[in-house]
Amino acid sequence: MTEPASLCFLCGRPLGARIEWHHPIPKSKGGRGTAPVHPICHRAIHANVTNKQLETRYASAEALRTHPEIAKFLAWIRDKEPDFHAPTRRRKSL
């Protein structure tokens, strides 16, 4: 059962008007649970971490926050408004 959305799974900031639902373990890898995230946070996850990595190393918010690029993103986003959005660049090495 999915809990009510109030804080973002990744950054922990209050959610805004737009909410997306992230599968910590991708559906393609058998994941069923979801967690609420800001759209920009959702894009940052998928721009920096593959589904295989999500399945094996980064299924929890705590683990995702240790990823170097995600950590940089979180430092940058921490003071932004809940509905802040900006283009997300995909890493070239994926």
Rounded CA-CA distance 86/27 in Å is: 26
Indicate the residue type of 83: D
Instruction: List per-residue pLDDT tens for the chain, 94 residues long.
Output: 344 559 999 999 999 999 999 999 999 989 999 999 999 999 999 999 999 999 999 999 999 999 999 999 999 999 999 999 887 666 555 5
pTM of the full predicted structure? 0.85
**Domain residues of the chain, as ranges?**
20-77
